[in-house]
């Protein structure tokens, strides 16, 4: 797959496609396989990670459609990095938090958060997702927090590759 077009401008389509497919496959696996096994309404971390993956999938799709604008791709990569940072902070807080007391926002599912449309509900869920308990479900000794961490680190590599891609200089003509 060529990453540089005829004009010498870099093509970001392959990286945006890879990021989009990582987000879509992660969301599909979470919906089809993981959600029937765990109670989604009891997992605030699951809700936050799903919202972040949904936003990132939309940004990757926009980046795929608007391919050639160098500065726009950098702006999208910066937004990706901000979303990934928020997700990583939430996941790491969840991995090392003591889940002694359960807040009310731990019980909100993704659909309830999106229906409310309240920024306060989203921010309180984001804040409490680090301390809310995660389900006991495991996949090869990996919990939901570990799987979220792996997905976000893979997306970090894709976003970083978009961020550092530079146009190729034509020195002869």
Q: pLDDT digits over 46-91, tens only?
A: 777 888 888 889 888 888 888 777 788 888 888 888 988 888 888 7
Type and span of the H or E element at 71: helix 70-96
Question: How is residue 43 written in tokens?
Answer: 């997992």
Q: Residue 131, Cα to own-chain centre: how many angstroms?
A: 19
Domain ranges of the chain: 13-96+103-164
Contacts of 116 (CB under 8 A, 6+ apart): none
pTM score, whole prediction:
0.69
């Amino acid at each position: 797959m060529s990453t540089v077009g005829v004009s010498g401008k870099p093509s970001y389509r392959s990286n945006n496609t890879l990021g989009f497919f990582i987000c879509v496959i992660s969301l599909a696996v979470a919906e089809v396989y993981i959600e029937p096994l765990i109670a989604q309404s009891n997992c605030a971390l699951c809700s936050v990670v799903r919202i972040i993956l949904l936003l990132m999938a939309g940004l990757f799709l926009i980046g795929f459609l608007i391919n050639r604008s160098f500065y726009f791709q950098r702006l999208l990569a910066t937004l990706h990095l901000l979303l990934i940072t928020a997700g990583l902070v939430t996941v790491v807080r969840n991995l090392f938090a003591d889940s002694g007391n359960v807040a009310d926002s731990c019980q909100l599912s993704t659909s309830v958060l999106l229906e409310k449309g309240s920024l306060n509900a989203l921010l309180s869920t984001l804040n409490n997702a680090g301390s809310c308990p995660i389900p006991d479900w495991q996949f090869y000794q990996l919990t939901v927090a570990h799987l979220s961490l792996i997905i976000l680190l893979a997306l970090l590599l894709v976003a970083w590759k978009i961020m550092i891609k530079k146009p190729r200089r034509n020195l002869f003509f």
